[in-house]
Each structure stands twice: as structure tokens, then as C-alpha cells.
Structure 1
């Protein structure tokens, strides 16, 4: 399938050494002998172009059924948005944190304007908001404010926050003190999304210098393996007003409140540096990873659709063969030799799975499967099969009842052949390392023989009685 090739291309471009604790690093970043990370200037235009081409291939893949495309319409829309983002050269940064940690205030401070709503009460930010970072218009840095992870509306808003993380390239997690268990759990979840993480200790103005240094060191230890030490930064998005004492000409003191400017320079410089150096690569990798997950979903849906169609097809042939055998009974020993309908069924199955077989190829496949079934059907197994087919039927063993039992055996043989052929096709026309014998034996072992025979008897009897009537 074309989408399989797409994901193979994406995986070929996203190299294993691009993954690091707390996120993904672009190719070219290597630690120097002292352990520090040395990152050369990076503009991986070729990599971005390859991923963009792969995204277009996924969007335009003609092998994806309309029903699957409709079912995953939201995901395909995200891919289109990611493609647009890649073409604009944007880096999307999600801002996370608890309610009142100062996420929106930090976003506004980074932007230098009131772009996000700031409020004291819970629930101020109820949806994701986007704004271009003023100082980074050229580098295309976009901030995304999110609901607090402990909002009153809880699960729904937290789920929204993590969905935003999934389509963001970088995450800034905002705290205002030591991390709570809830915050640490959220950080671990975010790290699992393989996004680069920065931890911003907000309201740093509340601490003295020594106390702040001690808290930053403590936070770096707590998030080791999730966030790099150099990415744990102190900020003051909305510092408390400073008390200023003024003495007038007569010596009278007057105390007034003087607003202080936000202190987010270190974080802003870090974000701008990442955007300038790694932005296109991070954006391309994130898009590639998301497209890979969507490709897997598409493949799963297509496989489910094919399996449903195949199950319906096998049942139709089971019914046709079961009724045919019942109307013209043949000895049990010759049931597996009635390969005409089975060969036709396998041809149809091969088309369902997009691996068409000729009638001759289908016949050979049925012969291989039948030979393995015959080897399994020793005398004792054959007697048990006959007993199962007759079990629960009229003690009188009328002609109709006997015919239904024989038809049920034909039905069961067709189920076995259909399931075995389906397995062969799913594996790409291969029995795998274990070979046909083991594959067919596993099919036999995993099928509920008695329930299949019971359904077959009931359905065939109903058809035979309808014909007699």
C-alpha cells in the first residue's frame, strides 16, 4: 500500500539518534567531550522538503478508501495544517502549566503585547489561542496558550492540552514553585510525546537570589531525563509592583507602587535561538511523526475494512458450498477435493487484499491448504468432525438432517481454506518462516469448530426446508 511506503520513507529520514530525553534533536547535534551539547547552525531545508512531499503523498494517496478518509477527516485536516505550517516555516510552541501558574501572562510577556487572556479565576483559558511572536516574525515562532492541566473542567480540557502538544513542535511547561505530583506526571506524559521540553519557573521575583538558585537546582534534579538542565529557566512574567519610597523637598516620605517590567529575556532568547537553529527540523520531525501515526491508523482501518469484507465473502462461499454439498451429498473423505468454489473464493479474497491471483494460482494455493488440512484430518480427527456435525440433530437422521450435516462439513472446510488463504494474503503472499503446515494448524486450533458447525447446520437446514416447502 502506498501509505506503507510513505511511513517507511518517514522512518528512513527520522534517524534513531535524533531522539533524546525530553524530545527530538535535529541531525547534527552532538555532545562534545565535556558533555555539553554543541549544535551547529541548522537549516534542513532538504529534510523539510522531503517530509512535505511525504505529507502530500499521504493526503493524495488514491489507495485510501473514501470511508476511511471520511472517518479520519479531522486527522487529515491536521496534516493539511501541518503542511501549510511547514511551507510557512513556522515553529509552534505550546505553553502548559497549572491554573494560575502564569501561562497566559508568560505568553503575553514573550510577545510584548496582550495577546492572551489573563485572569485570576480558574477557567480563563478555555481553548487554544495562537499569536505570532513579535520578535520572531522572520523565524515564524508561534505561541499556543492552553487550558490549565487542573482546570475545573478537568479531563476534557486536559485532553485538549495534550492534543495541542501533539501538533506542537516545542513545549514550555510553566510552574511557580516546586513541582506537584500532578505537574510531574504531566511532564512525563509530555516527554513521552517526544517533544523538546523547556521548564519555566515563573514568579521568580518572589525569591531571593540564593533561594532562586537553590530552587532551580532542585527542579533540574527532579526533571532529569525529561528536561535538559540548560532548559530549566527562571522567569517573571508579571512581577509584583515594587514599593518605592520618595522624599519630597520638605523631607516627607511618600510610598508608591511602581510596576516592573516582565523578566523573560532568557526564555525569549532560548526560544528564538531554537527557532533560528532548529525550527524547520523540529517542525518537519513533528509533522513526520504525526503523519506516521495517521498512516498506522489508516492502515488499521483499511485492514479492518478488508477483514470485514473478507469475512462476508467467506460466509457467502460457505453457504454456497454448504447448500451445494447438502443437495448433492458427497463422502466426507472427498469434501476437501471440492475445490471449485474454494478456488473462486480465494480469487475474490486476493482482490479484496489488493494482491490479485489468477485462477491457476488460486487453485495451487487451495491445493496447498487442502493438503495440510488432509494431513491434519487423521481418522480420529475425522470421526470427531463427523460427530460434531451430527451433534444435536434429530436422532432419526432423516435425509435432510444427514444432508445438512454433510453440508456443514463443507461449510467448515471452506472456512478453514478461506481463513488460511486470508492469512497468506495478509502476510504478502507468504506463509512466513513457520511454513504452511504451522500456519494452517494454527488456523484450525484457533477456530471454534462446534459453533461454526452449529451455525452451518442451522442455516443449511433452513435453506433445505425452504426448498422442500
Structure 2
């Protein structure tokens, strides 16, 4: 499912509709958040997830645990992005009312993400996350860190200090694609006169149309430039000094608090649900990959067993009938790997269906196999080994086809899908390199036959 449609679906789950009574929004939002929290717990407690997969995705599971704790605490996480020196850290500190994030004049002051509670709104659970500049010199690593933070943030504040550069606009588009609500903060607004500031804000709103709502494009001054002040004492003596004005972030703070009050829990629940959905997909893909690796080893084991059994059986045709039992046993084992156990009878019927389709597709190959089976009893010396190896290789190849076709059936939930068995088996045949499989099979079987003969 596309991320935007999943976002809308989750939003509909936890966000109240305009027709709800005044008392309903909080109840419905709380109910939706609880359902998302229950989903996160279910994912964390899922006993069917193999330990190896949990270990491989340990960082992601830890992040889910963090999101669940955040959801239960009712926190809203706000990521602050922007160019180096646009004033991201300073803006965060101004919102917090203290020096939570390092601020410096050199590029790259913020080298890793940090977070701190918003002092004036601890009861609303606002958490600011500062990030490295998007144009750091060693940009890839730090930019990747910044976007990792965006993935777990509920809201993004993008900081600029003038008209947007192409790099800034591209970054905004990337952030908008995450479906997180975006605010654009024009920092260092004290550098502009009133008319110039109004014109610049209008210009920015036009440039980010479709990415940021006009009401969410705001001016701020995290570290206003020092002003020259002249004091005159009672004797008329003038004293000149510099005074740093207080930060001007009131409009941005009020906007953040309003968003938190209106839909903070909704945003947090949606973000957690989206991340959990992606992790679930990762877990499913990793489990499928692990199963396929185990199934590949199992199929190869049965290929070798069947190939050698067919090659050693001196009775023409009978070897082919006896080897069918190995295919049925293999399919039973495959069904257990994929968590859809088949009885021996069900396995036999599945092998019969696959073999019938293979016979229809590959009649010439089965004819060659019968001839080779007859030749085994009429040859002598090394030619017996060579012919037996060729015979066993065809048995090996048939087992590969049966195993892969059975896998397709099991992965489909014991179903061939809309196209049916004929199409599925034909696709398997077309996808495998017959010559390389037969070459490997002949080599392995001949090696075993020579070893046993010696």
C-alpha cells in the first residue's frame, strides 16, 4: 500500500470527523491511539517472529518500543531541519527557554540528533529534535541521520533565513513525501523591515505552495542581533552599549502548542502506525527470505538423494516410480517450513498435479529419462556411470522443478493463484536454467557414484 493511502487510513482511524459532538473527538482520538498502541504491542510480543530476525532488526524493534512509550506518555516529537547556520539549534533553544542544543558559528555544530522537552509545555509532551544541517560537508552520513529522525518525528519544522535555495526546496519536497505536517520558520526575521518581511513571507508561501500550508509559514528571531543602546544619566552623560533583545519565537511556539492540543495524539499515533507497518513488512520479507534459504537447502538435499537413488537403481522405469516417494516427502518438509503442514496424502496429490503439468510441458525430457533408464542395464564399465549420472541428473532436475512449484503453491497460501497450476508450473520451468542445473547434478552424482564404486 502506498504510504499516502496508509497515512490517510490511519488518520481516519484516530482522527475525529467534523460531525462528531464536542465531547467525541477526545474519546475517538484516545480510542484510535489505543488501537495503534495495541498493534505495536502485538508486533513486539509476536512469538512467531524468529529470534534471528528479531536480532537482525533489533534497532527497529527498539524504535517501536520507544514509540510505544512515547504514545503512552502522550508526547509529540518535533524534528527541526534546515541548512547549516540557518539557526536550527538556536531556534530550538529559544523555544525551550534554555541552552539544550549546542550553538556555534562553525559549520557542523550539530553532529547528531538530540532531544529535550519543551519547558513551557511539558504537560503537552512536546519534544524537540535538533538535526545536522542538510548541507554539511560530509553530507551523506549526516543527511541520512536527519531523515532517519524525520521518520520517527510527528511534525517537522524547517528553518530558513531567507529565500529558499534549490537544495532547501528539494529537502522540503523530500520531507513532504514522508507525509509529516510541515512548518516553515523564517529565522533571523529581525534583519528585515516590516514591509520587506511581509513581502518575503508572501514569497515563501508561494514557493512552498502544496508543501506547507500558508498559516504554517511563520517568522521568528531566535538570536536577534544586538542593538546599540544609548543611556543618559541624571547629569546628561551618555553611555553607549550593546543589548541583545529577547528571542522572538512566540508565533511559532503558539502554533506548535495549538497543533499539539488539536491533534498531537493523532499525529503521534499515525506516525507510530506507519513505522510499525514498515517494520512488519521488513519482518515478513526477512522471514520469507529465511524460509526460502532453508527451503533451497532442503530441495538440494532431496535432489541429491533422488539423483543418486535413480542412478543406482538397476531396474528400468522402477527407479522413477520409487523416486516419487522422495518428492512427496520433500513437499511434506517444505509445507512445514512455510507453516502450512500437508499430510503425506495431500503431498502426494500435489506432486501428482505438478508432475502432470511437467509431463505436458516436457514430454521429450521424460522420454529421454526412460531411454536412459533402459540403457543403464545394458551398459558396462564407465559408460554405466556416465549414463547413470545422466539419468540421476534428470531426476535431480525434476525434483528442483517439483520443489520450486510446491514452494509457489505454499507461498500463495496453498493456492496456485488466479492463473492456475499450469501457468505457475510453466513460469517455474521458464525461470530456471536447465543446462546449469543438469551440469551441476551430473558432476555431483558422478562424484558420488565413483566414490561408492571405489
TM-score by length of 1: 0.88
| Deviations 1:276-330 (CA, angstroms, capped at 9, x unpaired) | 1111111111111111111111111100000000000000000000000000156
Residues 150/332 of structure 1: CA separation in 2 closer, same or farther (3 Å cut) = farther
Query: What's the offset of the Cα at 1:128?
Result: 1.4
1:50 paired residue number: 35
Distance 2:268 2:422 in 1: 48
| Deviations 1:387-439 (CA, angstroms, capped at 9, x unpaired) | 9xx9xxxxx97011000000001000000000000000001000000000000
Aligned-partner SS, 2:124: coil
Residues 284/335 of structure 1: CA separation in 2 closer, same or farther (3 Å cut) = same
Give the conservation status (yes or no) of the 8 Å contact 2:164–2:204. Answer: yes
Give the conservation status (yes or no) of the 8 Å contact 1:169–1:195. Answer: yes
Give the conservation status (yes or no) of the 8 Å contact 1:329–1:407. Answer: no
2:157 paired residue number: 172
Give the conservation status (yes or no) of the 8 Å contact 1:42–1:277. Answer: no
2:107 paired residue number: 122
Q: Does residue 194 of structure 2 align to residue 209 of structure 1?
A: yes
Structure 1: any 5+ residue segments left out of the alignment?
Answer: 1-6, 20-24, 32-39, 391-395
Residue among 320, 326, 339 paired with 1:354: 339
Give the conservation status (yes or no) of the 8 Å contact 2:302–2:327. Answer: yes
Distance 1:45 1:386 in 2: 73
Residues 329/173 of structure 1: CA separation in 2 closer, same or farther (3 Å cut) = farther
Residues 223/56 of structure 1: CA separation in 2 closer, same or farther (3 Å cut) = same
Q: Does residue 94 of structure 2 align to residue 109 of structure 1?
A: yes
1:260 paired residue number: 245
Residue among 321, 339, 351 paired with 2:324: 339
RMSD in angstroms over aligned alpha carbons?
2.8
Residue among 297, 313, 316 paired with 1:328: 313
2:15 paired residue number: 27
Give the conservation status (yes or no) of the 8 Å contact 2:328–2:348. Answer: yes
Q: Does residue 275 of structure 2 align to residue 290 of structure 1?
A: yes
2:424 paired residue number: 439
Query: Counterparts in 2 of 1:24-423, with a 5 A limit?
Result: 27-28=15-16, 42=26, 44-249=29-234, 253-329=238-314, 335=320, 338-379=323-364, 382=367, 398-423=383-408
Aligned-partner SS, 2:358: helix
Q: Does residue 453 of structure 2 align to residue 468 of structure 1?
A: yes
Range 241-250 or range 231-240, more displaced: 241-250
Structure 2: any 5+ residue segments left out of the alignment?
Answer: 376-380
Residues 319/261 of structure 1: CA separation in 2 closer, same or farther (3 Å cut) = same
TM-score by length of 2: 0.91
Aligned-partner SS, 1:398: helix
Aligned residues: 443
Residues 76/415 of structure 1: CA separation in 2 closer, same or farther (3 Å cut) = same
Distance 1:62 1:102 in 2: 46
Residues 342/111 of structure 1: CA separation in 2 closer, same or farther (3 Å cut) = same
| Deviations 1:140-176 (CA, angstroms, capped at 9, x unpaired) | 0011111111223321111111111111111101000
Residues 13/119 of structure 1: CA separation in 2 closer, same or farther (3 Å cut) = closer
Range 121-130 or range 357-366, more displaced: 121-130
Identify, as 1 or 2, the structure richer in helix. Answer: 2
Range 344-353 or range 42-51, more displaced: 42-51
